[in-house]
Amino acid sequence: MAKVFVDTWAWLAILNRQDSRHSQAKAVMQRLQQDRNKLVTSEFVLFELADALSSPAIRQQTVGFVQTLRKNPLVEIVPLSADLGEQAWQLYAARPDKEWGVTDCTSFVIMGAQNIKQAFTADHHFSQAGFQIIH
């Protein structure tokens, strides 16, 4: 079973019907699930998702979506840890030439540790870091 990292961009595009890439993101997710890929994401990504979808009008939908992800056996959510935070911070500090955010850096550390080559995202930072983008 291949692993694919799912970034905030993908979750947002799937949830937001007004997103210009909503249909495309849903089709990619359907294909990944049909192929029984293991979907890997992180608590950092889910925090970023919740921050983006914190409006009272959609807050309950966001909570429900994350709870559904937590129950899905095909989704692995990498938990917060001091070690992951430290490794991400070291990568962030080591790359002053990039605009990578700390959440991006946590994703790159996770992908490296789990030997994940592909990310479901449109964020070009992933390709800068040497990963293949699926979108």
Between the alpha carbon of residue 33 and those of residues 3, 30, 39, 45, 102, the distances in Å are 11, 5, 8, 19, 28
User: Are β-strands 132-134 and 75-78 bridged in parallel, bridged antiparallel, or unpaired?
Assistant: unpaired
Sorting pLDDT into bands at 50, 70 and 90, what band is 7? very high
Domain of 111 in residue numbering reads as: 3-134
Once rounded to an integer, what is the mean pLDDT over residues 52-62? 94
28-50 residue pLDDT tens: 999 999 999 999 999 999 999 99
- Looking up residue 11, the CATH number of its domain turns out to be 3.40.50.1010
Instruction: With a cut of 90, say whether residue 69 has pLDDT above it.
Output: yes
| E strand spans, 3-134 | 3-6, 38-42, 75-78, 118-120, 132-134
Give me the pLDDT at residue 135, please: 87
94-122 residue pLDDT tens: 999 999 999 999 999 999 999 999 999 99
Q: Tally the domains of the chain.
A: 1
Give me the pLDDT at residue 1, please: 76
